[in-house]
Amino acid sequence: MSETRVVLCGPDDGVVRIRFESDAGIQILSESVCQELGRILKSFDDEPPRILVFEATGRTFLAGASLHELKALDRRSARRYSRRGQKLFRRIAELPSITIAAIHAPCAGGGCELSLACDFRFLAESARIGLPEVTLGLIPGWGGAARAIRQLGPAAARRMILSGELLPAAEALRIGLADAVYADAEFGVSVDARIATFKRCAPQAVGAVKRFLAEGHHLDLADLMAEESRLFGRCYATSEPPEGIAAFLEKRSPKWPAGDEPPVEEAAADSTNPPTSE
């Protein structure tokens, strides 16, 4: 099996692409690939992209983890292996960027787990996706089982995980595992068209609402609304609302300022004061 390469492309008008490729066209999430992916993600700490797209070339999107590495694990090392993968994909889930998995071909195991850490999964109509770990005597260990329950609901997660099947794109769309399915011949163009719609979104507002959506299930309704109001107010600590409203009224595309952040003292207050109902 040829080595999988992780190629960083961009930024191009706010869009960064991470492309998995190999000479054989079958991409594997080996330890070395995960380390390189982690290095790239860490480089986004100071300046995250507005939109991050994961894509691949060849016969697969991602075929999962390395079977040779899985075979070498024991009970203790397997737990460490799982935690490293969870930490890596949590980096993706916690990015303030809009994240997209553009899945053109089969996506299995660790590849599906990576896609579940993204905001959106777009599939080509011939693509299949799933978590086949039970067919290897395993369970998803990089956050896939947990995210499947949270995002798809217990019934759909059970159907996917216990069968070990790779679901057709149409079935993935039906259960919410895919956000859109596009014709194979038009897949790249269709994904790019969707990306273009996301360019209208203000980056600071996107980051705020992603945190709200990720953390909101921990709060009761009153605290959830209080947190919503707090984040709504914080939008006005940036220059995004004036630009967004002006662009709409002037019938033009907004020009979002780069590096626009809330005042330091407000950011500090936000981190120390828990949301309370009013």
pLDDT in tens, 1-44: 579 999 999 899 889 999 999 999 999 999 999 999 999 999 99
Nearest one of 32, 53, 195 to 114, comparing CA atoms:
53
With b meaning 16 or more CB within 10 Å and e meaning fewer, what string describes 20-55? Answer: bbbeeebbbbbeebbebbeebbeebeeebbbbbbbb
pLDDT at 275: 41
Collapsed DSSP state (helix, strand, coil) of residue 75: helix
**CATH for the stretch 203-272:** 1.10.12.10
Task: Note if the bond before 11 is cis, omega within 30 degrees.
Answer: yes
pLDDT at 1: 53
The mean per-residue pLDDT over the stretch 231-259 comes to 83
Domain limits, CATH 1.10.12.10, in the chain: 203-272
The answer to whether 199 and 14 have CB atoms below 8 angstroms apart is yes
Q: Between 1.10.10.10, 3.40.50.920, 3.90.226.10, 1.10.3720.10, what CATH number should domain 5-198 receive? A: 3.90.226.10
How do residues 119-133 score in pLDDT, each as one tens digit? 999 999 999 999 999
How do residues 70-96 score in pLDDT, each as one tens digit? 999 999 999 999 999 999 999 999 999
Q: Rounded to whole angstroms, how far apart are CA atoms 102 and 85?
A: 20
Collapsed DSSP state (helix, strand, coil) of residue 69: helix
The answer to whether 164 and 132 have CB atoms below 8 angstroms apart is yes
User: How far, in Å, are 143, 190, 243 from residue 251 at the CA level?
Assistant: 43, 24, 12
How do residues 191-219 score in pLDDT, each as one tens digit? 999 999 999 888 889 988 898 888 777 77
Domain limits, CATH 3.90.226.10, in the chain: 5-198
pLDDT at 154: 93
How do residues 221-241 score in pLDDT, each as one tens digit? 788 788 878 888 888 888 888
Question: What length is written for the chain?
Answer: 278
Active-site amino acid positions: 113, 133
Considering just the CA atoms, what is the radius of gyration of the chain in Å? 20
CB atoms within 10 A of CB 206: 19
pLDDT at 278: 34
The mean per-residue pLDDT over the stretch 167-174 comes to 97
The mean per-residue pLDDT over the stretch 172-177 comes to 96
Mean of all residue pLDDT scores within the chain: 89
Residue 267: is its pLDDT beyond 50? no
Residue 69: is its pLDDT beyond 70? yes
pLDDT at 259: 57
Q: Rounded to whole angstroms, how far apart are CA atoms 166 and 42?
A: 31
The mean per-residue pLDDT over the stretch 153-179 comes to 95
Q: Rounded to whole angstroms, how far apart are CA atoms 142 and 140?
A: 6
The answer to whether 110 and 142 have CB atoms below 8 angstroms apart is yes
pLDDT at 268: 40
Between helix 31-42 and helix 75-93 the angle, nearest 10°, is 30
Q: Which pLDDT band holds residue 260 (cuts at 50, 70, 90)?
A: low
pLDDT at 86: 96
* pTM, rounded to two decimals: 0.86
Residue 269: is its pLDDT beyond 80? no
The answer to whether 92 and 41 have CB atoms below 8 angstroms apart is yes
Q: Which pLDDT band holds residue 249 (cuts at 50, 70, 90)?
A: confident
Q: For the chain, how far is it from start to end, CA to CA, in angstroms?
A: 59
Q: Rounded to whole angstroms, how far apart are CA atoms 104 and 128?
A: 9
